[in-house]
Amino acid sequence: MTIRVRFAPSPTGMFHVGGARSALQNWIYAKQQGGVFVLRIEDTDAARNKPEWTEGILSALDWIGISRGSYEGPYFQSANAGEHRAAAARLYDSGRAYYCDCTREDVQARTGSQYQGYDGYHRDRGLGPGPGHALRFRTPDEGATVVVDLIRGEPTFENKLIEDFVIARGDGSPVFLLANVVDDMTMGITHVIRAEEHLPNTPKQQLLWEALGVKPPIWAHVPVVVNEKRQKLSKRRDKVALEAYRDEGYLAGAMRNYLMLLGWAPSGDREIVPWSVIEDEFRLDEVNLSSAFFDEKKLRAFNGEYIRALPVAEFIDACQPWLTGTGTIAPPPWQPEEFDADAFAAVAPLAQTRIAVLSEIVPNVDFLFLASPLIDEAAWTKTMKDGSAELLDDAVAAFEALESWDAESLKSTLEAVGAERGLKLGKTQAPVRVAVTGRTVGLPLFESLEVLGRERTLTRIRAARLRLV
């Protein structure tokens, strides 16, 4: 038997990081088993679906390493509508489903509670199809439904506690529960790997599989992803869009590595490991049962490690979207003609050790490409104290006299300027840094001045001095 797994997102918004984790888990499992990864776009919610969201799913999968052409699909759920309706008809004709015209208010009136489920009122009343008549599945009165789950063992659900659930609406359109089952049957899905939030629906789906005469798949419900308050990650409350992390400058390798650690860990006391190790070692039956905390701070630290591990040439290439403003990345504050590739290459090794996401490259190097620095006014106020004007005068005079414009000479010269005033280098260089770069923090100052050059450095220090008049 060929293992067939599927990833079935809905094109109703940005690509959720939890969905990305599910896609990777399905992808790896299929690869390990010599199986097939199927992509199905569940697009039956016409009011919320947008073509750009579908393209966003495909692009996001490309980015994390599940590239187009390497999987089966994408299929679209809407194209299988005929099969959905046919399955509903078979269930009705076989007596496994019946029609019901009860409204929610009717059910509440009979049960006396808005919290009780449907009471089977129309089970044996012989109501036929018609406008406003929903089709309900006839759940067995006795016995239990056992779900074979690679992670959770064999969760068991008493059938008497499962209400007769709706499988087709009053207008005849099948609900998602039935459509999902029929699609999996049509596509020959053998294993369903998804988040535990779907577990309550699983006995209903398994009953549908059995009623339609097909052996159910093997299930695997992985832990839900939660925020720091242990609440399920929400698009309304949390930063969950994979595209947002991509556009902020997270590396695909770091994101893949981190997502796979949500509920699972490789062997040994290690977390940052080559993707080949994850592909080799990941096991569904080793996934934890407890919720998985998506820690953005930890992801950021991961990403910094991945950035620092890049060869410098690859780091320079990776920064290009932020340096040029390509694709979905906002343009930098300088004009294209102001960018100096050689100057960037000179400071790239310095920047690589200091940033955690690639978007941070812009505020670290913008001083090199702008006619004048972008002054952080809070930094200016904090740094330019009494005596700063005279210190800048001395720095200009000392720098003008330098024969060699290199980092070591610049450092020793400014150190001497400070010593004459009884200042340590840190206090001495702070006003110079703000004057030249506009900020109190950034790349090593003296290497930056070397790349910026004598003329531009002196011009900026003089301009800052005039502002202090």
Residues marked active site are found at 235
Q: Quick one: tokens of 371?
A: 């006619």
- CA angle at residue 315 from 309 to 316, to 5 degrees? 160
437 phi, psi to nearest 5 deg: -105, -20
Q: Closest by alpha carbon to 413, among 430, 398, 429?
A: 398
Rounded-to-integer distance, Cα 285 and Cα 311, Å: 36
Give how far the C-alpha of residue 267 lies from the chain's centroid of Cα atoms, to the nearest Å: 25
Rounded-to-integer distance, Cα 350 and Cα 57, Å: 35
Rounded-to-integer distance, Cα 381 and Cα 11, Å: 49
101 is in an annotated binding site: no
- Contact (Cβ atoms closer than 8 angstroms) between residue 74 and residue 34: no
319 is in an annotated binding site: no
Q: Quick one: tokens of 241?
A: 């869009």
376 is in an annotated binding site: no
Rounded-to-integer distance, Cα 210 and Cα 207, Å: 5
What is the C-alpha end-to-end distance of the chain, expressed in Å? 82
Rounded-to-integer distance, Cα 374 and Cα 363, Å: 9
- Contact (Cβ atoms closer than 8 angstroms) between residue 295 and residue 261: no
Q: Closest by alpha carbon to 89, among 128, 123, 118?
A: 128
391 CB burial (10 A radius; 0-12, 13-18, 19+):
buried
- Contact (Cβ atoms closer than 8 angstroms) between residue 365 and residue 438: no
Alpha carbon dihedral 88, 76, 32, 28, in 10-degree steps, equals: -120
Q: Quick one: tokens of 228?
A: 């720091």
- Contact (Cβ atoms closer than 8 angstroms) between residue 62 and residue 68: yes
Alpha carbon dihedral 437, 439, 442, 448, in 10-degree steps, equals: 20
Binding residues are 100, 102, 122, 124, 235
Known binding residues for ATP are: 235
